[in-house]
Amino acid sequence: MQNYTSVTEFTLLGIPNTQGLENMLFVLFLAFYLFTLLGNLLIFLTILVSSNLHTPMYFFLGNLSVFDIFFPSVSSPKMMLYLMGQSRTISYQGCACQLFFYHFLGGTECFLYTVMAYDRFVAICHPLRYTIIMSPRVCTSLTLGTWLGGCLHGSILTFLVFKLPYCGPNEVDNFFCDIPVVLPLACADTSLAQTVSFTNVDVVTLTCFFLILTSYGHIVLSILKIRTSEGRRRAFATCSAHLISIFLFYGPVMLIYLGPASSPWLDSVIQVLNNIVTPSLNPLIYTLRNKDVKLTLRKVFTQMVHISGA
């Protein structure tokens, strides 16, 4: 791959029109990043140590917490380093790794949201068969499938982008390496790579989103058949957190890859929302709107206080 390129490193230009705001952005992004790590780690450990949360829904939520720890870690550390005044350069291999892991983890999370929607569909539409359909073996297989699907997705996109020669310029007009900002730097015809890569992203995104909508269409119809208002309220409550996370995840993705071309500043802001803000919101969404998680967290904190007091 490297025999065909003279570029050995790229320069990340960062978020446009933010000169002089580096210190404020560093503090802001560091706060979001630390909250993301601590919040998702807390949810993961709570699910891990609490036997009453060892169900398919929380198994998938635990996986989501893991992805929300890794996903912002693809771009945030490097961005915060150059906000502190460190070098903005990133090696050719580092840029390729950023693009791969961004789409590997993003694709995996996309598939995981689809699996979580299917889990809610089975729980609400087929409650008597839920434990049989969503057996531990099935849950493990579905989770493994999301990982493998995301890895294949990221590998295809990385190969398409970095099989092209890069011989300058080497300035990436964003705060991390992604397809829309790296492909234009290639000194060869990018039409095939651009068409195939964006088609890949579009197909994965739209297919997953369609399957999620299909699952929730059946869920809504089943909920409306519940006779008691309390039953309908509880059923909607179990799905609301997941729906909020879905729209927060898919909204920026569709704006970036499916929407019309916009300004570099707007693209960077949308990427910040997708990479940094959304992963930090999931712990709040799933704790504030989930009684089981709130009760378990309260028990864990109470036990920690008793242990520290003893």
pLDDT digits (tens, 9 = 90+) for 247-264: 888 888 887 776 666 677
- State the pLDDT at residue 261: 61
Residue 24 buriedness (CB in 10 A; 0-12 / 13-18 / 19+): exposed
The residue-averaged pLDDT of 108-136 equals 92
Question: Which of 14-23, 141-150, 263-272 is predicted with the least confidence, judged by mean pLDDT?
Answer: 263-272
163, two tokens? 């099989």
User: 175-211 pLDDT, tens per residue?
Assistant: 999 998 999 999 988 888 888 888 888 888 889 999 9
Residue 60 falls inside a structural domain: yes
Distance CA 251, CA 97 (A): 25
pLDDT at 221 over 50: yes
Residue 222 falls inside a structural domain: yes
pLDDT at 1 over 80: no
In our burial notation (b when 16+ CB lie closer than 10 A, e otherwise), range 263-291 reads: ebeebbbbbbbbbbbbbbbbbebbbebbe
Q: Where would I find the H helices in the chain? A: 22-49, 56-73, 76-83, 92-125, 130-133, 136-162, 179-182, 191-224, 229-257, 264-272, 278-288, 291-309
- State the pLDDT at residue 306: 64
Residue 3 falls inside a structural domain: no
- State the pLDDT at residue 295: 77
Q: pLDDT: is 185 or 52 the higher one? A: 185
Closest CA to 105 of 145, 150, 144: 150
Residue 2 falls inside a structural domain: no
Q: How many domains are there within the chain?
A: 1
Phi and psi at residue 215, to the nearest 5°: -60, -45
Amino acid, single-letter form, for residue 59: F
Mean predicted lDDT score pLDDT of the chain: 86
User: 284-300 pLDDT, tens per residue?
Assistant: 887 766 777 777 777 76
CATH number at 25 reads: 1.20.1070.10
- State the pLDDT at residue 308: 61
The residue-averaged pLDDT of 219-230 equals 81
- State the pLDDT at residue 294: 74
User: 71-103 pLDDT, tens per residue?
Assistant: 999 999 999 998 888 889 999 999 999 999 999
User: 2-22 pLDDT, tens per residue?
Assistant: 455 478 899 998 888 888 888
Amino acid, single-letter form, for residue 86: Q
- State the pLDDT at residue 117: 93
**DSSP string over 209-220:** HHHHHHHHHHHH
Residue ranges making up the domain that contains 292:
9-308
| CA distances from residue 212 to 2, 118, 119, 274 in whole angstroms, order as listed | 40, 7, 11, 19
Residue 107 falls inside a structural domain: yes
- State the pLDDT at residue 299: 76
- State the pLDDT at residue 304: 66
- State the pLDDT at residue 262: 63
